[in-house]
Chain A
C-alpha cells in the first residue's frame, strides 16, 4: 500500500509558505532546510508554544533536534513541495533544494490561478519515480486511479476503501484494476465485511490499524483542496454503520473524464526511449501540464509541434500526461528545457535571534516538617482513608509505595468518585472543603476550600476527563478566581491562589507555565497546579508521620506544587 506520510498542512498555508520561500530564494541556486525553517519562522507561518516567528525558532533551537518543530515543519513542507514537483533536490542528497520551472509558475500565479496548476501537480504524482525515497512498490498514478475508482464505485467511497483500493494497485495493469473494483464492490453492503477487509490489509502489511488510516490524510486533503471530493455521511456503503464518506464532485468527475483522454506516460516507458525522444517528452509533458492549467502556450508552439512530431508514435494523437519534475531528476529536466542554473554556492542563513527566555518550570516546594499534626478525621471518608493508609503502613510499606498503590487505584475514577476523593484529601490536610453539586451554575468551581480569609476555588479534572492537567483547566481556575472575587460567596483575597487539580501534571509543562505567568502578569492572580500524586504524598505523610506542611505555601501557590518526602 502507498504510504503517504502525513504532513498535516493546509492548502492555503502550503501556497503561502511556498510564495514566501520563492520571494527569498528565487535568485539563489539552491536553499537548505535551515533556510526554509528560517523563512517559515520569519514570516510567522509557523508558531510554537504560543510564540510566533523568530521567537519560535529561537525556542525550538534550544531543544533537541527531534523536538525542533520549526525544522520539522520545514521538512514536512519540503516533502510536499517535492511531491508536487515545485522544488527538487540539487545533487545526490535530499537537500539542498531548488525551484523547478513549474514551481516558478506556482509562485507567480495569483490565488485563483494557482488552483488549476495545483490540480495538475496533484495528478502528476506517480510512482515509481527517481526523486524521492518511498516505502512502497505500487506502480500507480494514484490520484488518477482514485478518481477512476470513485467513478466506478458510484461516486462515493469510504476513506479506508482507498487503502485496500487505489492505494494498493498497479493501475496500468487493467486486469488488476478490474479485480480491485470487483473486490471493493463485493465488500460493500456489510460493515462486518469492511472490518474484515481492513483488518486483512493491516495484517498483510503487519502494521497497526492507524497506519493505513493516517496514510489517507494527505490524499484526502489534496483531493478536497482540488475540489474533487467533499464529505458526505452515508450508511448505505456499509450498513448499518453510518460513516463519513467522500463524494466525487461534478468537478472531480470532469477531471476524471479529461485525464482518461491523455497518454499516461510512466517512468519505465519513458526510460525505454532514446535521448532525443526523452527530451521531447519532457518538454511536451511540462507544456501540456501548463496548458491544461490554463497557460497560453503559443510562445512555445513551434517547439510543441516539433516535439509532437518526434513523439507521434507514442502519443497516437493524444495529449501527454507526464510530469517530469515529479518523476525524474531536475538536471535531466533542466537540460531538456534549456534551463541553465548558475552554480553559485547556496546562500546559507545565519540565524541569530534574540533568545527568548522560557521559564521551564515553575515549581513550588511545599515543605513537610516533623510535627504532631492532628489528622482531622472528623468525617467518615477521612476516617476510612486514614485507616486504609494505616493498614498499608502496617504491612511495612514505605510512604512512596502507599502513595503509588492509592494513585494507581484512581486511574479509572470518574468525576463522581474523583471530585469527592480530592476534596477528602484536602480535608485530611485540615481544610474545610465543599464539593459543588453537578450542574450548580452558581458555583462554577468543582470544589472550594472554605476559609475565613483565604477561600480557594478548586478546578478538578478526573483522569477519565483528561489524564494530564490541560490549559483548559488553568483557564477555568482563572475564571473561578474571578467569579469568587466578584460574587463574594466566600471570603478570599486577590493574592490567594486558585487551584487546578488533576491526575498527572500537564504534558506541555512549558506552555502551562507560560500561561500561569501570563495570568499573573496581566491580572495579578496566582494559579496553583497540583497533581494527584503530590497531593497524596502530602496527605499520606500527614497521616503516617503526623507531618505538618506549609499551609501558607499552599494558599499562595503559583505553578506546580512539589514535595519531597523526608
Chain B
C-alpha cells in the first residue's frame, strides 16, 4: 500500500542563470550583496532545498568523539521556532512576534538573504530576473541548486548581521529572562551558536535525567581535534556550574576515555558571575590544583562573535578567565578585529556586572 504525499509540496527552486557570484559582502542590518558580472546585486532567497537557515544537519548536532553521549535530535536552527517555511512564497518566513533576534538563521544563509532592520527580521524575496531563475522542484533541479550553492559556499565572506549595542543585548536578554528552567531554549541556543562558530555540538536530550552533562562539542574540520564538555547555566547558580564541569570531565575521563587534559571544557552563562560569588575563585583553584583551564563564555559574547562570522579557537583556551583576570573582552575583541560596542559590565557579557 503506497503512502500519500503531502499537499504542501515544494514546487520551485531558484538557481543562478549562467553567471555565478564572484564575491559577496554584507553591511550590518542589510541583506548581503552579490557581485554578479561587474554589478553588485542585492541578494535574494534561493528557496533552498533543505534550507540551512532552518535545519541543521545530522553531522552538526552529533559528536562522534563522544560515542556514549545521548543527544537531542532537534534539528531546528531557530531556538524559539520563529522561522517556518511558507509554501506559498516558497521561502522561509519569520514570525517577528516570536523572534528574539539571535541571528542564527541569518548567518547560516549561504547568500545572506536574511537580515535585520528596524528591529525586524526580513527575508529578501524580490529576486533579480536577470541573474536568477525559478525552476521546478525536481531531482535534477535540486542537484543543480546544490551544485551551485557548493560553489557559492567557497566564497570567503563574512556575515555582518548586526552591530552589537547595550540596547540590543538588553532586548535579547530580556526576552530570555522569561524562559523557565526546564526549557530547552538555552541549550538549543548555545548549541546552535557553537555550530555557527565552526564546531559540532550535541546537547543532552530534553527530559533525560540520567545524563548530567549539558553538552559536548568538537571541531568540525578533521584536523581540529579540539573537544570538550559544556555546562550551560542561565540561572544564578554558577557555583553549581563549576562543580558540574568537574563532574563532566571526570565522567568523560573515566567512562569514555576522553583524557581530562584533552577536555577543553567550558561554562556558558548568561552573565558573568560577580567576584564575590566565588565562581572565578574556584576556577582559579581548579587551574592551580588540577591544571585544568575551564573557559567561561557568555551568551552575549557568543552572539557577537556569531553575528560577525568570527573564527575562534576554543582549543587554545582563549576564553579562559579567572579571579586574577575577570574578563573575556580582550579575547573577544581580538577575534572580532575591532573594539566591542558594549559598555563595561553591561549584563555581565564580557566581564562581571558593576
Contact of A518 with B251 in the complex, beta carbons under 8 Å = yes
Task: Note all chain A residues with C-beta closer than 8 A to B147.
Answer: none
Specify which chain A residues have a CB less than 8 angstroms from the CB of B249 in the assembled complex.
Answer: 522
Which residues of chain A (516-537) have a CB below 8 Å from chain B? 517-519, 521-523
For B253, the chain A residues whose CB sits under 8 A away are 518, 521-522
Contacts of A13 in B (CB 8 A): 205-208
Residues of B within 8 A of A190 (CB): none
Q: Is B336 an interface residue (CB 8 A)?
A: no
The distance from the CB of B207 to the nearest CB of chain A, in whole angstroms, is 4
Q: In A95-138, which residues have CB < 8 Å from any B CB? A: 101, 104-105, 108-109, 111-113
Q: Do B285 and A482 have beta carbons less than 8 Å apart?
A: yes
Partner of B70, one of A46, A295, A479: A46
B247 near A101 (CB under 8 angstroms)? no
Give B206's nearest chain A residue, CB to CB: A10
**In the complex, chain B residues whose CB is within 8 Å of the CB of A300:** 4
State whether A522 and B250 are in contact (beta carbons under 8 Å apart), knowing that A479-B282, A486-B284 are contacts in the complex.
Answer: yes
Q: Are A12 and B68 also in contact (CB < 8 A) when A295-B6, A483-B285 are?
A: no
Contact A108 B68, beta carbon cutoff 8 Å: no
Known: A44-B71, A478-B246. A523 touches B255 (CB 8 A): no
Partner of B243, one of A297, A475, A521: A475
Query: B223: CB under 8 A from chain A?
Result: no
**Is the CB–CB distance between B6 and A113 below 8 Å?**
yes
Q: Which residues of B contact A9 (CB under 8 A)?
A: 207
Q: With an 8 A cutoff between CB atoms, is A299 at the interface?
A: yes
B residues near A517, Cβ cutoff 8 Å: 254
Chain B residue numbers with a CB within 8 Å of A8 are 207
Tell me whether A240 is interfacial, beta carbon within 8 Å.
no
Among A288-309, those with CB < 8 Å from B are 290-291, 294-297, 299-300
The closest CB in chain B to the CB of A11 belongs to B206
- Given the known inter-chain contacts A517-B254, A522-B260, please indicate yes or no for A47 contacting B70, CB distance below 8 A: yes
CA distance A55 to B278 in the complex (A): 37
Give every chain B residue within 8 A of A53 (Cβ-Cβ): 67-68, 70
Contact between A521 and B254, CB atoms less than 8 A apart:
yes
Tell me whether A487 is interfacial, beta carbon within 8 Å.
Answer: yes
Which residues on A sit within 8 Å (CB–CB) of B205? Answer: 10, 12-13, 45
Whether A483 pairs with B6 at a CB distance below 8 angstroms is: no
A475-B244 in contact given A12-B72, A108-B3, A297-B4 (Cβ < 8 Å) = yes
Q: Which residues of A contact B316 (CB under 8 A)?
A: none
Q: Which residue of A lies closest to B292 (CB)?
A: A523
Q: Tell me, yes or no, whether A409 is within 8 Å of chain B by CB.
A: no
- A52-B68, A515-B251 known; A10 and B4 CB under 8 Å? no
A-B pairs with beta carbons under 8 A, tally: 144
Interface 9-residue window, one of B23-31, B73-81, B137-145, B168-176: B73-81
Pair B68/A55 contact, Cβ less than 8 Å? yes
Q: Could you say which interface size class chain B belongs to?
A: 35 or more
* Residues of chain A lying within 8 A (CB to CB) of residue B251: 50, 515, 518
Bound: A548/B244 CA distance, A: 38
User: Does any Cβ of B come within 8 Å of A441's Cβ?
Assistant: yes
Bound-state Cα–Cα, A55 to B70, Å = 12
Measured CB to CB, the nearest residue on chain B to A297 is: B4
**Contact B1–A101 (Cβ < 8 Å):** yes
Rounded to whole Å, the gap between the CB of B272 and the closest CB of chain A is 17
CA distance A518 to B254 in the complex (A): 5
- Cβ-defined contact, A295 with B1, below 8 A: no
A50-B210 contact, Cβ under 8 Å, with A486-B288, A518-B255 = yes
Chain A, Cβ-Cβ closest to B73: A16
Q: Establish whether residues B4 and A290, one from each chain, have CB atoms under 8 Å apart when the complex forms.
A: yes
| Bound: A515/B290 CA distance, A | 17
Interface residues of B in 211-270 (CB under 8 A from A): 211-212, 242-244, 246-247, 249-251, 253-255, 260
**Contact assessment for B4 and A111 in the assembled complex, using a CB-CB cutoff below 8 Å:** no
Question: A273 in the interface, Cβ–Cβ < 8 Å?
Answer: no
**B85 in contact (CB, < 8 A):** yes
Which residues between 331 and 346 of chain A lie within 8 Å of chain B, taking CB atoms? 337-339
Question: Given the complex, which residues of A lie within 8 Å of B288, measured CB to CB?
Answer: 485-486
Given A112-B84, A517-B254, A522-B250, does the pair A12, B74 have CB atoms closer than 8 Å? yes
B8's contact among A294, A479, A521, A523, by CB below 8 Å, is which? A294
B319 at interface, CB cutoff 8 A: no
A523 in contact with B1 (CB, 8 Å)? no
Interfacial chain B residues near A231, Cβ < 8 Å: 180
* B206 and A441 form a contact (CB under 8 A): no
Q: Which residue of A lies closest to B180 (CB)?
A: A231
Q: Which residue of B2, B71, B85, B211 is within 8 Å of A50 (Cβ)? A: B211
Partner of A44, one of B55, B69, B74, B260: B69
B289 within 8 A of A: yes
Q: How does the 8 Å CB contact mask read for A467-488 relative to B, with 1 for contact and 0 for none?
A: 0000110011011001101110
The answer to whether A485 touches B210 (Cβ under 8 A) is no
B1 close to A339 (CB less than 8 A)? yes
B76 & A521 in contact (Cβ 8 Å cutoff): no
Q: Is residue A159 within 8 Å, beta carbon to beta carbon, of the partner chain?
A: no
Q: How far is the CA of A467 from the CA of B350 in the complex (A)?
A: 40
Chain A nearest CB: distance from B305 CB in Å? 28
- B236 CB, min distance to chain A CBs, angstroms: 15
Q: How far is the CA of A55 from the CA of B282 in the complex (A)?
A: 34
Contact A483 B282 (CB under 8 A): yes
> In the complex, A476→B243 CA distance in Å?
7
Question: Taking CB as reference atom, which chain A residue is nearest B87?
Answer: A294
Query: Can you give 18 contacting A-B residue pairs, CB < 8 Å?
Result: A12-B74, A12-B206, A13-B206, A44-B69, A44-B71, A45-B205, A46-B208, A287-B4, A294-B7, A295-B4, A295-B5, A296-B4, A471-B212, A472-B243, A482-B289, A485-B285, A486-B284, A523-B250
9 more A-B contacts (CB under 8 A) besides A46-B208, A53-B68, A518-B250? A12-B73, A44-B70, A47-B211, A52-B70, A104-B3, A295-B4, A295-B6, A478-B246, A515-B247
5 A-B pairs with least C-beta separation: A486-B285, A522-B250, A522-B253, A521-B254, A475-B243
**Chain A residues in the interface with B (C-beta under 8 A):** 8-10, 12-13, 16, 44-53, 55, 101, 104-105, 108-109, 111-113, 231, 287, 290-291, 294-297, 299-300, 337-339, 441, 444, 471-472, 475-476, 478-479, 482-483, 485-487, 514-515, 517-519, 521-523
